[in-house]
Amino acid sequence: MSSEPIDTPTKILQATLKLLEAPDAKLPTMSDIARATGISRQAVYLHFPSRTDLLVAATRYQDRLNDIDTGLAPSRGARSGAERLDAFVTAWGNYIPKIYGVARAIMAVTDTDAEAAAAWNTRMQDMREGCSAAISALAEDGTLPPGTDIEQATDLLWTILSVRNWENLTQTCGWSQDCYIATIRGMAMATLARDLGALTDVLACTDPPA
C-alpha cells in the first residue's frame, strides 16, 4: 500500500523541525528551510508569510506529532482545581523534554532575533492559557489561598513551569526528570492549592551519584 502524499506546507514544517532539532542547531533562515524542503524561497513565503508564522506553525505541528491533547486530557477532565493543577504541572513538566531541542534553538536567539522572539512569546502564551485555566479552577473551588490575585498566581505558575527553569535544573544542575517533576509539583501544590503535604516532595528526591 502506498502512503498518502505529503502536502507542501507539511513538508516545510517537517524540514523546519529537522533543522531546529539538529545538534547545535542555529535558527534557520527561510532560505535554509527552502533548501531543506527542495522548493524555492518564494514558495515557502507563499505558505508562511513570515518566519514568525512558520516557527509558530512548526511548534504547533510538533504538538500534534506528540499528541499533546492526549497528554493534557487528565487536566482538562479534572474534577477539582487541585486535581487540574496537579495534572497540568505533571503533563507540561514531562512534555518539555520532548520539545526542548526546538525550544533551545529558538530561545538562543530571542534577544537578537525579533521573529524568533515573537514566535517564542506566542508559544509561551499558549502554555500560559493552561496555567490560567488551572488557577481559575482553583479559584472556583475556593482552594486558592485567600486574598490571592488570580493574575499573579498565574504569573507564578507560568514562571515555575518555564522551559528555562527545566533547563537550569536538569541540564545545568543535573537533576533527573523524576526529581524535577516531584519538586515542581510539590512547589505548585503547596503554594497554590494549599496542599501542605506536597511540601514533602520539594527537594526530597535524591538522584544516585553519576
Contact 12, 47 (CB under 8 A): yes
Q: What is the pLDDT of residues 141-182, one digit of tens each?
A: 999 999 999 999 999 999 999 999 999 999 999 999 999 999
**Rounded (10°) angle between helices 51-65 and 81-107:** 130
Report the distance separating Cα 33 and Cα 39, nearest Å: 9
**Looking at residues 126-141, what average pLDDT do you find?**
96
**Residue 196 pLDDT > 90:** no
User: What is the CA 132 to chain-centroid distance, rounded?
Assistant: 15
For 82-113, how does the pLDDT look when each residue is reduced to its tens digit (9 = 90+)?
999 999 999 999 999 999 999 999 999 999 99
Domain range annotation of the chain:
8-48, 67-199
What fold characterizes domain 67-199?
A: Tetracycline Repressor; domain 2 (1.10.357)
Nearest C-alpha neighbor of 90 from the set 209, 182, 16, 158: 182
Write down the CATH number for the domain with range 8-48.
1.10.10
pTM of the model: 0.89
Cell (9 digits) for 32: 535554509
Using only C-alpha atoms, the chain has a radius of gyration, in whole angstroms, of 19
Contact 151, 64 (CB under 8 A): no
